[in-house]
Amino acid sequence: MSTQQTTAPAPQQSSPTLRRAAGTAYFPIAFIARFPFAMMVVGTLTLVVAARDSIALGGMNAAAVGLGAAIVGPLLGAAADRIGQRTVILAAGIANSLALLAIAAVAFSSLPDAFVLLTGFLVGATSPQIGPFSRSRLVQLILTRLPAGRRARSLNATMGYESAADETAFVFGPIVVGLLATTMSPAAPMIGAAVLTLLFVTAFALHPTARISVPSADEPVAQAPARELATLGVLVVVAGALGVGLFFGTVLTSLTAFLSDSGRGDSAGLVYGVMGVGSTILALSISLFPERFRLRARWLVFSALMLASMIAFSLAGGLGGVIAAMAVAGIGIGPTIVTLYSLAAERSPQGRSATVMSMLGSATIVGQSAASALTGAVAEQDGSQASMWMPVGAAGLVVLAALVNAVGCRDGATPSAAGDDLPQGTPLLAEQADPR
């Protein structure tokens, strides 16, 4: 007599999601950890102007912050690619907290101006660029933990979310600076940024997702030669990010000058925030764009919209026209940022994704720093109306980079076994693609 043995079917596991792979706590931690980086330029500018009573020195200090970020930022990315993110972010976060506290003290001390500029440089040099590192982590998670059929949509949606998070931080970071400086003291934004860095940047470094980029003895680091970072495909995207940074700096500074002329300078943050509304909505909706709307076309279309809105901004005679121009600018800037980072992920040489992402982050901050200083000088010397033409030049650089990209570069990376299901033009880390 035989006994028929029946085996109960195993319960079907639900398909993994990016939120589950990263952990629910990851996203709020990574979002708040971006704010110190977004507060640096405006915060140090406000601090130095109040402490030293010199707009010129404040502008020079903002430029020093950007110079530090531009020189050291890509090196931090390269170190993260080599030894993993955790050690790099922890070291940078602690050093940055100390630098932020130091500049708050040095600005109000009797030390020469050179010490203020040196401390500003250290603030920029030690800044942990959470946005680029977060993108690198999440894309790696998508390509290693999610089902192949869902990677393309998840990658597009993730790039949209990350760009919206960056945009929100860059829009509301200066507002936080203004609130702290006016309600407490000019040093309060730097102290607040130091506390946020110590708490949330450290939490970001210690989060379990940091382990995915740590090289192991079984799988040593395989990196493309550093010269591949200097290809046209990478450099043109960095140039676009520089233009975006210039755009942020020129718009905020010229807008502040324009509103100050009419006694409404304290509302600059609110008017500037109008741009963030459309930008965030469009960035989050990027995954809904049809596949045939290629990355090179998106960059051209939305950067042209940025340029048109800034021409309208410079010609606006009143507050209503300025607000309308800011609303249109938001529709252009959000998708442009998403596209730039999508192309950066797609074109990153093998083993150097964090480096490329950091290059874009550094270019953005150095553009914002330089533009804030230059636009402030133009506003002081030639008036706010002259300064309102500065964003036209910044948007023009983004359009020029888009044209070079359209003519000299191609969309899409060559698919590999890990990503052969992805359509051409989908963001793809070079670790999973042919690095040609």
Q: How far is CA 335 from CA 44, 73, 182, 228, 342, in A?
A: 29, 24, 33, 26, 10
User: Residue 154 has which token pair?
Assistant: 């998840």
State the average pLDDT for the chain.
78
Classify residue 3: in a domain, yes or no: no
pLDDT of 311 above 90: yes
pLDDT of residue 423: 36
Classify residue 384: in a domain, yes or no: yes
pLDDT of 325 above 60: yes
pLDDT of 96 above 70: yes
Classify residue 15: in a domain, yes or no: no
Q: Per residue in 352-398, pLDDT tens?
A: 677 777 788 778 878 887 887 788 788 878 888 888 899 999 999 99
* Domain membership of residue 88 as a residue range: 25-215+226-416+423-432
pLDDT of residue 390: 93
Across 303-315, average pLDDT: 93
pLDDT of residue 435: 27
**Can you tell me the distance from the alpha carbon of 13 to that of 10, in angstroms, rounded to the nearest whole number?**
9
Q: Tell me which residue has tokens 């989908």.
A: 426
Q: Tell me which residue has tokens 């130095």.
A: 48
Classify residue 186: in a domain, yes or no: yes
Across 176-182, average pLDDT: 79
Classify residue 14: in a domain, yes or no: no
pLDDT of residue 419: 37
**Alpha helices by DSSP H, 232-351:** 232-261, 268-284, 295-315, 319-347
pLDDT of residue 309: 93
Classify residue 19: in a domain, yes or no: no
User: Residue 224 has which token pair?
Assistant: 């493309």
Q: CATH number of the domain that 138 lies in?
A: 1.20.1250.20
Classify residue 94: in a domain, yes or no: yes
Classify residue 13: in a domain, yes or no: no
pLDDT band, very low/low/confident/very high, at 6 (cuts 50, 70, 90) = very low
The type of residue at 20 is R
Q: Give the count of domains, the chain.
A: 1
pLDDT of residue 102: 94
pLDDT of 33 above 80: yes
pLDDT of residue 373: 76
Over its C-alpha atoms, the chain yields an Rg (Å, rounded) of 22
Q: How far is CA 104 from CA 46, 108, 174, 190, 373, in A?
A: 11, 7, 17, 6, 19
Q: pTM, whole model, 2 decimals?
A: 0.70
Across 48-65, average pLDDT: 79
pLDDT band, very low/low/confident/very high, at 414 (cuts 50, 70, 90) = very low
